């Protein structure tokens, strides 16, 4: 009998192997009831999705390794998200084959966490925290700043655990301000205008912008509206665009940007390059931008303060928590919740210190007591106390997914308001933003 294979038999075997391989690949993963791994594999695989910026900034991988070492049988894996991951997660939730347990980062008091909750992508975590035996679990929710706890709560259930928060603040160059005799940040809009004029005269030769915004609604006019009234939102859950406070904020913005040219064009064009080039004396933006400045120019040259406001009685400032969520139908929800507590809980000083060093503000009262105010090495982050106080009395944005709509239309019309040669009035701008937002919201169901 010949050992040689004919071409036909070889092709048959190859095709059979190919078809067999394809069928094997299509076969469902062997998962025992209750989400247990297939026989032979005793490990509970807890996959957590994180965006690459978060894993680059925060050592989630390191804490996962630590957690795995002290919890034999559980393997936490941090995976970075890719385009369209939410769609994939939702599909898997729908057909009951979810392979991940948790995901980040969603902003509370913004659009993303409400979207995750409204679509049923994430589940409440209260009961899992209560059942957790990990150190810190019993104090986690109580230690959380109340406003952040509320912002992550929907219909009485807690959905998004923040590892940090950010708020709109005034990030300023102490050396430049000192050059014009200012050793404190402006507390009111009038003081801001005054010091900006002085900075403009002082920095004219070097073409230094006295101040700058970033393009977001939150960081510019939105923040000014917050600082002018105790009730920034109307019944339609949009900012009160036609209120005196909003018109004043738009007019103030126009004055700074167009009439007195105290900012880059439009208030923000090329602000980041200018900031890093030392050509911007102050930026109204989220608080972490101040730490970016400190990293570039030194901790003595840049600091962060609460934003200037118009009225003593106000709504604080726009803010958001950077949250992780527990996915609905997660294979190992308790283990995932335990990992969250282990990593992000108030007992993990190392983690809290890492968060603070990135310029993000911690979310637990104990982190302020023990680290920012208790550890001399963290004295330079003392400004975070002011951010905490500011946020503690801030109005939480209404729970809906309309913010992006409002922000989009704001960005369109604010440019038209401050374009050189523009004849648009603040009233017209406010009306245009409101009408465009309302028209689009009328087409939404949620």
Q: Does 22 bind other proteins (CB under 8 A)?
A: yes
Number of residues in contact with other proteins under rule CB under 8 A: 40
Residue from the set 190, 269, 369, 435 that interacts with other proteins by CB under 8 A? 269
Q: Which stretch binds other proteins (CB under 8 A): 64-72, 198-206, 267-275, 295-303?
A: 267-275
Residue from the set 299, 370, 408, 438 that interacts with other proteins by CB under 8 A? 408
Nearer to other proteins, 35 or 215 (CB): 215
Q: Does 274 bind other proteins (CB under 8 A)?
A: yes
Residue from the set 5, 9, 12, 435 that interacts with other proteins by CB under 8 A? 12
Residue from the set 405, 429, 430, 434 that interacts with other proteins by CB under 8 A? 405
Residues 83 to 102 in contact with other proteins, rule: CB under 8 A = 87, 90
Q: Which stretch binds other proteins (CB under 8 A): 13-21, 191-199, 324-332, 379-387?
A: 13-21
Q: Which stretch binds other proteins (CB under 8 A): 40-48, 143-151, 265-273, 354-362?
A: 265-273
Q: Does 441 bind other proteins (CB under 8 A)?
A: yes
Q: Which stretch binds other proteins (CB under 8 A): 63-71, 328-336, 337-345, 412-420?
A: 412-420
Residues 184 to 243 in contact with other proteins, rule: CB under 8 A = 207, 215
**What would the 3-class secondary structure string for the chain be?**
CCCCCCHHHHHHHHHHHHHHHHHHHHCCCCCCHHHCCCCCCCCEEEEEEECHHHHHHCCHHHHHHHHHHHCCCEEEEEEECCCCHHHHHHHHHHCCCCCCCEEEEEECCCCHHHHHHHCCCEECCHHHHHHCCCCCHHHHHHHECHHHHHHCEECCEECEEEEEEEEEEEEEEHHHHHHCCCCCCCCEHHHHHHHHHHHHHHCCCCCCECCEECCCCHHHHHHHHHCCCCCCECCCCCECCCCHHHHHHHHHHHHHHHHCCCCCHHHCCCHHHHHHCCCECEEEEECHHHHHHHHHHCCCCEEEEECCECCCCCCCCCEEEEEEEEECCCCCHHHHHHHHHHHHCCCCHHHHHHHHHCCCECCEHHHHHHHHCCCHHHHHHCHHHHHHHHHHCCCCCCCCCCHHHHHHHHHHHHHHHHCCCCCCCHHHHHHHHHHHHHHHHCCCCC
Binding track, positions 385-404, relative to other proteins; x by CB under 8 A: ----------------xx-x
Binding track, positions 294-333, relative to other proteins; x by CB under 8 A: ----------------------------------------
Positions that interact with other proteins (CB under 8 A): 11-12, 15, 18-19, 22, 87, 90, 115, 118-120, 207, 215, 264-266, 269-270, 273-274, 277, 279, 401-402, 404-405, 408, 411-413, 415-416, 419, 440-441, 443-446
């Amino acid at each position: 009998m010949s050992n040689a294979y004919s071409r036909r038999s070889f092709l048959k075997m190859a095709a059979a192997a190919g078809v067999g391989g394809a069928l094997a690949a299509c076969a469902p993963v062997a998962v025992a009831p209750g989400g247990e791994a297939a026989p032979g594999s005793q490990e509970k695989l807890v996959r957590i999705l994180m965006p690459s910026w978060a894993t680059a900034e925060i050592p989630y991988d390191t804490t996962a390794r630590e957690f795995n070492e002290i919890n034999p049988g559980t393997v936490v894996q941090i995976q970075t998200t890719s385009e369209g991951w939410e769609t994939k997660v939702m599909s898997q939730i729908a057909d009951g084959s979810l392979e991940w347990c948790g995901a980040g980062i969603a902003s509370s008091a913004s659009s993303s966490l409400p979207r995750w909750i409204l679509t049923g992508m994430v589940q409440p975590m209260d009961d899992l925290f209560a059942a957790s035996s990990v150190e810190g679990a019993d104090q986690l929710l109580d230690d959380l700043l109340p406003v952040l706890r509320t912002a992550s709560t929907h219909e009485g259930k807690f959905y998004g655990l923040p590892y940090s928060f950010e708020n709109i603040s005034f990030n300023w160059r102490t050396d430049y301000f000192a050059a014009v005799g200012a050793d404190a940040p402006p507390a009111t809009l009038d003081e801001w205008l005054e010091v900006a004029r002085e900075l403009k005269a002082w920095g004219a030769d070097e073409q230094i912008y006295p101040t700058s915004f970033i393009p977001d609604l939150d960081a510019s006019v939105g923040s000014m509206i917050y600082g002018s009234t105790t009730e920034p939102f109307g019944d339609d859950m949009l900012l009160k665009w036609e209120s005196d406070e909003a018109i004043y904020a738009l007019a103030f913005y126009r004055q700074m940007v167009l009439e007195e040219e105290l900012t880059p064009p439009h208030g923000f064009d090329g602000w980041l390059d200018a900031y890093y080039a030392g050509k911007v004396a102050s930026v109204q933006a989220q608080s972490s931008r101040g730490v970016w400045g400190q990293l570039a120019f030194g901790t003595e040259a840049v600091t962060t303060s609460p934003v200037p406001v118009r009225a003593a009685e106000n709504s604080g400032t726009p803010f958001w928590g950077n949250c992780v969520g527990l996915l609905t139908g997660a294979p190992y929800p308790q283990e995932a919740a335990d990992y969250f507590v282990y990593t992000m809980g108030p007992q993990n000083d190392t983690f809290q210190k890492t968060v603070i060093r990135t310029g993000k503000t911690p979310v637990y009262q104990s982190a302020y007591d023990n680290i920012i105010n208790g550890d001399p090495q963290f004295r330079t982050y003392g400004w975070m106390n002011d951010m905490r106080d500011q946020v503690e009395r801030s109005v939480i944005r209404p729970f809906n997914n309309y913010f992006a709509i409002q922000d989009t239309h704001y960005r369109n019309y604010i440019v038209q308001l401050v374009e050189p040669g523009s004849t648009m009035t603040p009233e017209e701008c406010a009306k245009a933003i409101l009408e465009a937002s309302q028209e689009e919201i009328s087409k939404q169901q949620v």
